[in-house]
Amino acid sequence: MGRYLIRRTLFLVLVLFIVSLLTFLIFVKLPAGDPARRAVGRSTTPEQIEAARQAFGLDKPIYVQYARFAKGLIPWPGLFLTEDVYYSYGNFVAVKEEIYRRLPVTITLAVGAAVIWLAMGVPIGIISAVRKGSVWDRAGMVFALIGVSMPVFWLGQLLLYFFWFKLGWAPSSGLEIGDTIWQSIAKGKFILPWITLAFTSAAFYARMVRGNLIETMNEDYIRTARAKGLAEKRVIYKHGLRGALTPVVTMLGLDIGLLLGGAFITETLFGLPGIGQLAVTSIGTNDFPMVMGVTVLGAFFIAVANLVVDVVYAFLDPRVRYT
Amino acid sequence: MNRTWRVIALVAVLGLVGAACGGDEDTGADTTTSAAPSGDLSGGTLKLAQTADVDVAFDPTRSYYSVTWQYYRCCLLRTMMSFNGKPTEEGGAEARPDLAAAEPEVSADGLTWTFSIKPGINYAPPFDDVAITANDFITALKRTANPKTNVGGYSFYYSVIEGFDDYGDGKADEISGLTAVDDQTLEVTLTAPAGDLPYRFTMPATAPIPPLDGGEFGVATGHDKDYGRFLVASGPYMFKGSEALDFSVPAKDQEPVAGYVPGRSIELVRNPSWSADTDELRLAYPDEITTEIGGDNDDLYNKVEQGAIDLVVDGVVPPEKLRAYQTDPDLQNRLKVYPADGVYYVSFNLAMPPFDDVHVRKAFNWIFDKEGFRQLRGGETTGELAGHNIINAVTGNINAEYDPYATPNGAGDVEKAKEEMAQSKYDNDGDGVCDDPACEGILTMTDREDPYPKQAALMQQFLEPIGISLDVKELERTVMYNKCNDMNEQVAFCAGPGWFKDYADGYTFGNPLFTSDGLWESCCNYSGLGASADQLSEWGYDATEVPSVDDKADECTAATGDERVQCWAELDQQLMEEVVPWVPYLFFNQVDLLSPNLTNYSFDQSAGIAAFDQLALVGEGNLTSG
> pLDDT, tens digit, for every residue of A246-271?
888 888 888 888 888 778 899 988 99
Write the residue in B225, B482, B522 that is nearest to A92 by C-beta: B225
Shortest CA distance to B311 belongs to which of B1, B599, B3? B599
Query: What part of A 268-297 touches B (C-beta under 8 Å)?
Result: 268-273, 277-278, 281, 286
Examine the pLDDT at B21 and tell me if it is beyond 60: no
Residue of chain B with shortest Cα separation from A272: B295
Shortest CA distance to A271 belongs to which of B218, B301, B500? B301
Taking an 8 Å cut-off on Cβ atoms, the answer to whether B482 and A41 are in contact is no
pLDDT recorded at residue A46: 74
R_g (Cα) of chain B, nearest Å: 25
The span from the CA of B276 to the CA of B295, in Å, is 35
Per-residue confidence at A42, pLDDT binned at 50, 70, 90? low
Residue type, B531: A
Per-residue CA distances from B618 to B27, B40, B154 (Å): 26, 11, 39
3-state secondary structure of B173: coil
Return the exposure string of B113-149: e unless at least 16 CB atoms fall within 10 Å of the residue's CB, then b. Answer: bebbbbeebbbbbbbbebbbbbbbbbbbbbbbbbeeb
Q: What is the pLDDT of residues B542-557, one digit of tens each?
A: 999 999 999 999 999 9
Least confident of A298-312, B113-127, B496-510, B605-619: A298-312
The residue with greater pLDDT, A11 or B301, is B301
The residue with greater pLDDT, B360 or B620, is B360
Residues forming beta bridges with residue B106, ordered by sequence position: B113
Q: What are phi and psi of A196, to 5 degrees?
A: -55, -50
Q: How many CA atoms lie within 13 A of B157 on its CB side?
A: 29
SS (H, E, C) A95-113: HHHHHHHHHHHHHHHHHHH
The residue with greater pLDDT, B368 or B503, is B368
Write the residue in A45, A281, A286 that is nearest to B522 by C-beta: A45
CB contacts, 8 Å: A165 with chain B? 302, 305-306
Minimal CA separation from B420 to chain A, in Å: 36
Taking an 8 Å cut-off on Cβ atoms, the answer to whether B299 and A173 are in contact is yes
The residue with greater pLDDT, B382 or B70, is B70
Size of interface A-B (CB pairs under 8 A): 138
Report yes or no: B515 and B523 within 8 Å, Cβ to Cβ: no
DSSP B270: E
Percent of chain A at pLDDT above 90? 31
Q: What is the pLDDT of residues B311-334, one digit of tens each?
A: 999 988 888 898 899 899 999 999
pLDDT recorded at residue A267: 92
CB contacts, 8 Å: B308 with chain A? 172
Per-residue confidence at B31, pLDDT binned at 50, 70, 90? low
Per-residue confidence at B29, pLDDT binned at 50, 70, 90? low
Q: What is the pLDDT of residues B424-441, one digit of tens each?
A: 999 999 999 999 999 999
Which residues fall within 8 angstroms of residue B349, CB to CB, at 6 or more apart? Answer: B355, B487, B490, B491, B492, B493, B494, B526, B527, B528
The span from the CA of B102 to the CA of B119, in Å, is 12
Average pLDDT of span B610-625? 75
Examine the pLDDT at B127 and tell me if it is beyond 80: yes
The residue with greater pLDDT, A30 or B52, is B52
Question: Do the bridges between strand B442-447 and strand B493-494 make them parallel or antiparallel, or are there none, so unpaired?
Answer: parallel
Examine the pLDDT at B26 and tell me if it is beyond 60: no
Does the CB of A151 have a partner CB in chain B at under 8 Å? no
The span from the CA of A86 to the CA of A107, in Å, is 22
Taking an 8 Å cut-off on Cβ atoms, the answer to whether B478 and A33 are in contact is yes
Examine the pLDDT at B626 and tell me if it is beyond 60: no
Minimal CA separation from B294 to chain A, in Å: 5
pLDDT recorded at residue B70: 97
Does the CB of A103 have a partner CB in chain B at under 8 Å? no
The span from the CA of B370 to the CA of B365, in Å, is 9
Taking an 8 Å cut-off on Cβ atoms, the answer to whether A41 and B521 are in contact is no
Least confident of B149-163, B201-215, B612-626: B612-626
Q: What is the pLDDT of residues B340-392, one digit of tens each?
A: 999 999 999 999 999 999 999 999 999 999 999 999 988 888 899 999 999 99
End-to-end CA gap in chain A: 7
CB contacts, 8 Å: B225 with chain A? 87, 92
Per-residue CA distances from B215 to A159, A279, B221, B223 (Å): 54, 37, 5, 11
Examine the pLDDT at B218 and tell me if it is beyond 90: yes
Question: Do the bridges between strand B45-50 and strand B311-312 make them parallel or antiparallel, or are there none, so unpaired?
Answer: parallel
Which residues fall within 8 angstroms of residue B548, CB to CB, at 6 or more apart? Answer: B515, B516, B529, B530, B531
pLDDT recorded at residue B28: 61
Which residues fall within 8 angstroms of residue B437, CB to CB, at 6 or more apart? Answer: none
Torsion of CA A159, A164, A169, A173, to 10 degrees: 90
Torsion of CA A78, A79, A82, A86, to 10 degrees: -170
pLDDT recorded at residue B11: 40
CB contacts, 8 Å: B153 with chain A? 43
Altogether, the residues listed in chain A come to a count of 323
Give B393-452 as a DSSP string.
GGTTTTTTT--TT--GGGS--HHHHHHHHHTSTT-TT-SSS--SGGGSSEEEEEESSTTH
Report yes or no: B84 and B90 within 8 Å, Cβ to Cβ: yes
The residue with greater pLDDT, B121 or A233, is B121
Residue of chain B with shortest Cα separation from A279: B263
Per-residue confidence at B13, pLDDT binned at 50, 70, 90? very low
Shortest CA distance to B207 belongs to which of B53, B85, B100? B100
Tell me what the pLDDT averaged over chain B comes to: 90
CB contacts, 8 Å: B449 with chain A? none
The span from the CA of B20 to the CA of B318, in Å, is 9
Write the residue in A44, A165, A273 that is nearest to B522 by C-beta: A44
The span from the CA of B600 to the CA of B626, in Å, is 7
Least confident of A257-261, B106-110, B377-381, B575-579: A257-261
Per-residue confidence at A280, pLDDT binned at 50, 70, 90? confident
Chain A interface, mutation test: which of B299, B517, B525, most A Cβ atoms within 10 Å?
Answer: B299
CB contacts, 8 Å: B521 with chain A? 37, 46, 49
Residues forming beta bridges with residue B238, ordered by sequence position: B269
Asked, as a colleague might, if the bond just before B126 is cis with ω within 30 of 0, I would say yes
Q: What is the pLDDT of residues A76-134, one digit of tens each?
A: 888 888 888 888 877 788 899 999 999 999 999 999 999 999 999 999 999 999 888 89
3-state secondary structure of A89: coil
Does the CB of B478 have a partner CB in chain A at under 8 Å? yes
Per-residue confidence at B620, pLDDT binned at 50, 70, 90? low
Minimal CA separation from B205 to chain A, in Å: 14
Shortest CA distance to B589 belongs to which of B221, B250, B305, B322? B322
Give B54-87 as a DSSP string.
PGGGG-TTT---HHHHHHIIIII---SEE--S--
Model pTM?
0.84
Chain B interface, mutation test: which of A34, A42, A49, A176, most B Cβ atoms within 10 Å?
Answer: A42
pLDDT recorded at residue A33: 64
Does the CB of A27 have a partner CB in chain B at under 8 Å? no
Minimal CA separation from B188 to chain A, in Å: 25
Minimal CA separation from A37 to chain B, in Å: 8
Q: What are phi and psi of B498, to 5 degrees?
A: -150, 165
pLDDT recorded at residue B211: 97
Q: What is the pLDDT of residues B252-307, one digit of tens each?
A: 999 999 999 998 999 999 999 999 999 999 999 999 999 999 888 889 999 999 99
Q: What is the pLDDT of residues A122-145, one digit of tens each?
A: 999 999 998 888 999 999 889 888
Taking an 8 Å cut-off on Cβ atoms, the answer to whether B151 and A33 are in contact is no
Per-residue confidence at B521, pLDDT binned at 50, 70, 90? low
Per-residue confidence at B83, pLDDT binned at 50, 70, 90? very high
Taking an 8 Å cut-off on Cβ atoms, the answer to whether B228 and A268 are in contact is no
Write the residue in B5, B263, B296 that is nearest to A91 by C-beta: B263
R_g (Cα) of chain A, nearest Å: 24
Examine the pLDDT at B622 and tell me if it is beyond 50: no
pLDDT recorded at residue A91: 77
pLDDT recorded at residue A240: 86
Report yes or no: B101 and B121 within 8 Å, Cβ to Cβ: no
Distance of CA B430 to the CA centre of its chain: 43
CB contacts, 8 Å: B241 with chain A? none
Average pLDDT of span B334-338? 93
Taking an 8 Å cut-off on Cβ atoms, the answer to whether B152 and A286 are in contact is no
